[in-house]
Amino acid sequence: MHDISKLNRKHKKGIFLGCGKSINQLSQKNIDVLHKEFDIWVSNSFMINKDIVPDFYHLEVKNHRNGPLVKRIISEKFQKYKNTKWILDATRPHLLSNFNPKNYNPDNFYFYRKYYRQESHGMYKPIKEGLGVSLNASLSLICDAIIKMKYDEFYFLGVDMDDCRYFWTDNKKYSDVLIEDIIKTTKPDERSPDSLHPTFKMKFFIKEIFETNNQKAINLSNSSLLKETIETRKIGEVL
C-alpha cells in the first residue's frame, strides 16, 4: 500500500470516463485505442461496464446505494482488474473490506488524505499533502489528482451532467447485471431522471482548475454540459 504521492502515470494522455450515457458511444475500436494510448481514470460504479478496464480507479462507496453492487463486482472481476491502481480515501479504511486480499495485490492500493475546500471554484494550485474536495463532488478530488500527474492532454467522456441517467440506465446490454433500483439513475428516490445531475457546477470547476494549472482539458461528449466551458471534440477525431 502506498501514499498517492507515489502514483505515476503510464501515458502522456489521460481520460476520465464518467458513468454518463455518452459512454455508450464508444466503439470497440475506440476502446482499443484507449487501452493502448491513454491512462484511463474512472470512479464510483463504473465497474458495471463490460468492455473497459481502467488503469486508475477512485473507489467511492455509499453502502446504502452501491455498496452491494461494488462488493459483488469487485469479487467477480478480480482477474480483469489485477493491474488496476485503486485510489482510496485514507479516512475510510472500511473501503478495503470490499477486496479479498487473496485476489488483489496490496501494491495496487494508493491512499490520499482529504481536505475540504471552502471555495467552490477551481482556481487554485493543488497541494502536495492531500487532495481537495470541492462542491461535495468526488470528481473534484480526481481532478486534483489528475492535475498533479501533468498530462500533456486530458479528456473527459461520460461526464454529461445534463440528466441523471447512467450508461446502464434502460440499456439492454446490462439486463443480465444485478443493479439495484436505487442506482438505476442518480438518486431516483430524490429526483427525476430528466433533471440536471447534482454535480452540474463541475462544468465550471473543471475549466477553472485546468486553466489555472496551465493544463489542457478536452470534452468528448456532445451531450455534456462541459461543451459550454471547455474545448469539445468528436470521439472519432481523438480515438
Task: Per-residue pLDDT tens, the chain, 239 aa: give them.
Answer: 899 999 999 999 999 999 999 999 999 999 999 999 999 999 999 999 999 999 999 998 888 888 899 999 999 999 999 999 999 999 888 899 999 989 999 999 999 999 999 999 999 999 988 999 999 889 999 999 999 999 999 999 999 999 999 999 999 999 999 999 999 998 888 889 888 888 888 999 999 999 999 999 999 999 999 999 999 999 999 99
What is the model's pLDDT at position 88?
95
What is the model's pLDDT at position 9?
94
What is the model's pLDDT at position 147?
96
What is the model's pLDDT at position 14?
97
What is the model's pLDDT at position 188?
86
Contact 161, 228 (CB under 8 A): no
What is the model's pLDDT at position 66?
87
Q: Distance (Å, rounded) from C-alpha 133 to C-alpha 137?
A: 7
Contact 132, 115 (CB under 8 A): yes
Strand order across the 38-43 sheet: 2-3, 109-112, 85-89, 56-58, 38-43, 13-17, 153-157, 217-219, 231-232
The three cell numbers locating residue 200? 452540474
What is the model's pLDDT at position 198?
86
The pTM of this model reads 0.95
